[in-house]
Amino acid sequence: MSHEKTQKEASLGSDRIGSLLFKLALPAILAQIINVLYNMVDRMYIGHIPDIGPNALTGVGVTMPVIMAISAFAALVSMGGAPRASIMMGKGKNEEAEKIMGNCTTMLAVLAILLTVIFLAFGKPILLMFGASGNTISYAWAYMQIYSVGTIFVQLSLGLNAFINAQGYAKTGMLTVAIGAVCNIILDPIFIFGLDMGVRGAALATIISQAVSSVWVVKFLTGSKSTLRIRLKNMRPKGEYIFPSLALGAAPFIMQFTESILSVCFNTSLLKYGGDIAVGAMTILTSVMQFSMLPLQGLTQGAQPIISFNYGAENIQRVKEAFHLLLKSSMIYSTLLWAISIFAPQVFIAIFTGNAELAAYTKWAIRIYMAVSLLFGIQIACQQTFIALGNFKTSVFLALLRKVILLIPLIFILPHLIPNQVLGVFLAEPIADFIAVSVTSILFYREYHKLG
């Protein structure tokens, strides 16, 4: 093992927790922000295509739930496999960690093939089910056909990048995302306008960019700079490596996969009780929520290898120290987010609309929707730590609890219990959040004291 590898492992096990978390979390946060911008670039260019821009933009927007589903399957494999690999590294079992990564690589490839076949065969009916109309289906399908062919690149770049971050190479993980984003920004105008390919050009630019990212990831994980390496001998599927990884990855998979279902539930209820302006407000609230959660997601990504590695090394004091710092940082951020949402919501709203009526409506809605967002720090720190510790049963339950067990039913039940039906729909979020945080805190308190 090279000196660089030894130093990397030693840093996870011995460097000061504060500087280590900052070193790993900052690139992860930047990668999250770059990834959002990455997804926005296509829509920015497509919206400016002469004559067909609005319909093309709507059509590509309809593909987002499908793209989110593809990303969710990458998380199913990687977000379970990567923490398990970190735990094995902490135990000094690098060969076991490599076997986990090798099996996950095979699973990512298998899932990519299955998803490609499914979306090419049934993509059009799926897009119509998600809201494509006669005016937009041609654009949605044109984009999805090409994007589906590049599913293998999406799975490998997203899925394997988690194993780079799990080893503590956060800057390299950030570069994976940045390289793809830069390629996409350069290629989009060339294919969309220069070669007059329109929506197809945007999809082609995206999959080429993802291909470049996946080559970067594979090259790093098969090279000498990586502590863990992908080796052909470890890629033969074995249940003892695959099933525990899928079980642990079920929680992040559920959290990502249910986002599209949740969006449909909110929009249908709000359209029924509040009309287009309520749906417009919800679009802004969702955008605010997704973008504002990026730093929290980056923090947990930075903390995961520290917690997992030291848990595997049975260094419980460092596990607790890392969790305490993660919890404190997350709480400070979520409290700041809550304060802005309640006392200065126009800071967020002005980014998305200049329409006075929509802005006024959203100002009222955001104060309800984000009423208990100061507790997000507790929820995400505890829930992600369960995953980092390899506790798949509790993490899956918590993922199901907030969205599937609480939020979705409340969206449809509360409007029948409250005279102001739109208020009932928006109240579903803070009520579900409060119950979910309470349950998560109780379960984590019990788990925390078992650590010793």
Judged against a pLDDT cut of 90, whether residue 98 lies above it is answered with yes
- For 33-44, write each residue's pLDDT tens digit: 777 766 667 666
Judged against a pLDDT cut of 90, whether residue 219 lies above it is answered with yes
Judged against a pLDDT cut of 90, whether residue 390 lies above it is answered with no
Distance of CA 96 to the CA centre of its chain: 27
- For 335-386, write each residue's pLDDT tens digit: 999 999 999 998 888 876 677 888 898 899 999 999 998 898 899 899 888 8
pLDDT of residue 352: 67
pLDDT of residue 8: 46
How far apart are alpha carbons 430 and 271 in whole angstroms? 20
Which range has highest mean pLDDT (155-169, 378-392, 393-407, 419-433)? 419-433
pLDDT of residue 13: 65
Residue with structure tokens 């200049």? 354
Write down how long the chain is: 452
**Cα dist. 113→64, 153, 169, 331, 334 in Å?**
20, 11, 29, 41, 39
How far apart are alpha carbons 198 and 189 in whole angstroms? 9
Please list the helix, strand and coil fractions of the chain in percent, rounded to the nearest 5, in that order: 85, 0, 15
> Among residues of the chain, what percentage have pLDDT more than 70?
91
> 275, exposed or middle or buried, with CB in 10 Å at 0-12, 13-18, 19+?
exposed
Band (425; pLDDT cuts 50, 70, 90): very high
- For 124-178, write each residue's pLDDT tens digit: 888 877 666 677 788 888 888 898 899 999 889 888 988 988 887 878 888 888 8
User: Which pTM does this prediction carry?
Assistant: 0.75
> Among residues of the chain, what percentage have pLDDT more than 90?
28
How far apart are alpha carbons 236 and 233 in whole angstroms? 7
Judged against a pLDDT cut of 90, whether residue 415 lies above it is answered with yes
How far apart are alpha carbons 347 and 282 in whole angstroms? 16
Who wins on pLDDT, 256 or 141? 141
- For 45-71, write each residue's pLDDT tens digit: 776 777 776 677 666 766 777 787 888
Domain ranges (residues) in the chain: 3-249, 272-450
Judged against a pLDDT cut of 50, whether residue 416 lies above it is answered with yes
